[in-house]
């Protein structure tokens, strides 16, 4: 075989290979790779053209013309295949991305705050409007803060009604939010004006009106010249804010070890206005909180001069308030996480 024949043979083999590869190319991307492989700067055709130097000078133009034909054929074959593939690819994408606007949507259910959170936020809002700040304390608390410093020494009978869960000898789950009072008074010089919402624990059997875990909001005001009149006035404002402008309060003497004097506070029934109905069990009044003037011993224990300063404190039970407020007949509903119940509080 002479040089010319050899070169033509090489060209023919390349053409055959090209044809085969073209048939296999399944995407415009593969097609582009093919173009680079055969027609690129370092491609096979360029390689053959370079080899032409070995041919006798008179054969070179012939061979060059033949090679150019092949290049043109390759280019047009590539282009027509590219159009086909591009068309296929577009049609495929259209199929895949097709959007059926008649399909039903997937609604995102609207959530809402838990009824207890709603009541806590509302009560905190009322007191913040009166200039109170929000304070918080730990739920795992020292005996010292939960009892001792609140004038409830070991052996005190009120420890029985506030039996709780002990983590150790001196560490327990707090039975009330009152320890936050002590923590704040220990670290903050008067004037003090705070409310502390939070979770509390008691070793109570669970039934329609009791839970071993519940919530309270503690209030504390300490300043010069604070009186029982200030306490009653503040609680009246609070009761009107939460239960309506027509609400009255009633203050009954009571006993708490950390306040003196102490009181239980009722609000006039928001259903009947005081004449007696099912909501208030015929009483006309509903008990919502405990309160009193901070015991001088408690002030002194926190390093506050009880001759110069006085204060009042109160503690509101959130579950009872929420139940009364929303007409909930069983406390356990509040913890069941049953959507049928919770969805009513949107």
Give the 3-state secondary structure of residue 289.
strand
Does 198 contact ligand PHE by CB under 6 A? no
Query: Facing residues of 289 across strands?
Result: 265, 316
List the interface residues with ligand PHE, window 253-272 (CB under 6 A): 256, 259
The reply to whether omega before 43 is within 30° of 0 (cis) is no
* Contact between 147 and ligand PHE per CB under 6 A: no
Between 18 and 256, name the residue whose CB sits nearer to ligand PHE: 256
Of the candidate spans 74-82, 91-99, 231-239, 287-295, the one that interacts with ligand PHE by CB under 6 A turns out to be 287-295
Closer of 290 and 301 to ligand PHE (Cβ): 290
Cα–Cα distances (Å) from 51 to 41, 46, 273, in that order, read: 14, 9, 109
- Phi/psi of residue 54, each to 5°? -75, -15
311 makes contact with ligand PHE (CB under 6 A): no
Q: Please report whether residue 164 would count as binding ligand PHE according to CB under 6 A.
A: no
- Candidate residues 146, 151, 164, 176; the one interacting with ligand PHE per rule CB under 6 A: 176
Among residues 116, 313, 318, 322, the one that binds ligand PHE under rule CB under 6 A:
313
- Rounded to a whole number of angstroms, the minimum distance from the CB of residue 201 to ligand PHE is 11
Q: In sequence order, what are the beta bridge partners of 293?
A: 312
Q: Does 185 bind ligand PHE (CB under 6 A)?
A: no
Candidates 184, 239, 291, 299; binder of ligand PHE (CB under 6 A) is 291
155 exposure class (CB count in 10 Å sphere: 0-12, 13-18, 19+): exposed
Q: Is 137 in the site for ligand PHE (CB under 6 A)?
A: no
Decide whether 221 or 328 has the Cβ nearer to ligand PHE: 221
Q: Identify whether the C-beta of residue 83 lies closer than 8 Å to the C-beta of residue 31.
A: no
- Quote the CA–CA distance of 151 and 153 in Å, as a whole number: 6
If we measure between CA atoms, which residue out of 339, 316, 331 comes closest to residue 197?
316
Of positions 194, 265, 315, 333, contacts ligand PHE by CB under 6 A: 315
Does 290 bind ligand PHE (CB under 6 A)? Our answer is yes
* Centroid of chain to Cα 16: 66
Q: How many residues bind ligand PHE (CB under 6 A)?
A: 11
Residues 201-220 that bind ligand PHE (CB under 6 A): 218
Give me the least distance between CB of 282 and ligand PHE, in Å please: 25
Residue 286's SS3 state is strand
The answer to whether residue 63 forms part of the interface with ligand PHE (CB under 6 A) is no
In the 8-state DSSP scheme, what is residue 40? S
How many other CB atoms are there within 10 angstroms of residue 146's CB atom?
Answer: 26
| Contact stretch for ligand PHE (CB under 6 A) within 8-16, 59-67, 85-93, 310-318 | 310-318
Structure tokens at 280: 């208030």
Any contact of residue 310 with ligand PHE (CB under 6 A)? no
234-253 residues in contact with ligand PHE (CB under 6 A) are none
CA-nearest of 179, 306, 177, 314 to 234 is 314
Q: Which is nearer to ligand PHE, 67 or 288 (CB)?
A: 288
- Does 43 help bind ligand PHE (rule: CB under 6 A)? no
Query: From edge to edge, which strands make up the β-sheet containing 249-256?
Result: 133-134, 192-201, 213-224, 309-317, 285-294, 259-268, 249-256
Distances (CA, A) of 289 to 30, 97, 115, 241: 79, 62, 19, 15
CB of 322 to ligand PHE, least distance (A): 16
| Shortest reach from residue 340's CB to ligand PHE, in Å | 32
Residue 149 interacts with ligand PHE (CB under 6 A)? Answer: no
Give start and end residues of each alpha helix (H) in 42-98: 44-51, 60-96
The residues of the shown chain that bind ligand PHE, judged by CB under 6 A, are 176, 178, 218, 256, 259, 290-292, 313-315
């Amino acid at each position: 075989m002479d040089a010319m024949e050899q070169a033509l043979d090489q060209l023919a083999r390349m053409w055959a290979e090209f044809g085969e590869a073209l048939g296999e190319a399944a995407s415009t991307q593969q097609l582009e790779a093919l173009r680079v492989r055969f027609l690129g700067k370092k491609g096979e055709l360029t390689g053959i053209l370079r080899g032409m130097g070995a041919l006798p000078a008179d054969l070179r133009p012939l061979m060059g013309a033949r090679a150019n034909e092949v290049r043109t054929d390759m280019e047009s074959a590539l282009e027509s295949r590219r159009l086909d593939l591009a068309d296929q690819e577009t049609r495929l994408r259209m199929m895949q991305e097709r959007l059926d606007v008649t399909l039903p949507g997937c609604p995102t259910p609207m959530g809402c705050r838990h009824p207890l959170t709603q009541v806590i936020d509302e009560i905190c809002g009322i007191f913040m409007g009166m200039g109170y700040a929000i304070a918080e304390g730990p739920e795992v608390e020292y005996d010292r803060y939960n009892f001792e410093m609140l004038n409830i020494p070991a052996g005190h009978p009120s420890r029985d009604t506030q039996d709780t869960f002990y983590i150790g000898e001196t560490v327990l789950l707090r039975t009330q939010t009152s320890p936050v009072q002590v923590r704040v008074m220990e670290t903050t010089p008067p004037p003090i004006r705070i409310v502390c919402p939070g979770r509390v624990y008691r070793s109570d059997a669970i039934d329609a009106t009791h839970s071993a875990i519940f919530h309270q909001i503690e209030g504390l005001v300490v300043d010069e010249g604070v009186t029982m009149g200030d306490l009653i006035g503040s609680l009246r404002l609070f009761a009107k804010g939460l239960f309506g402008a027509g609400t009255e309060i009633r203050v009954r003497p009571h006993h708490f070890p950390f306040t003196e004097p102490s009181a239980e506070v009722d609000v006039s029934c928001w259903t009947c206005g005081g004449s007696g109905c099912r909501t208030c069990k015929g009483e006309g009044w509903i008990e919502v909180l405990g309160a009193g003037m901070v015991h001088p011993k408690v002030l002194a224990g926190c390093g506050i001069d009880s001759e110069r300063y006085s204060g009042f404190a109160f503690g509101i039970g959130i579950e009872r308030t929420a139940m009364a407020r929303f007409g909930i007949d069983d406390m356990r509903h509040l913890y069941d996480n049953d959507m049928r119940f919770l969805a009513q509080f949107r």
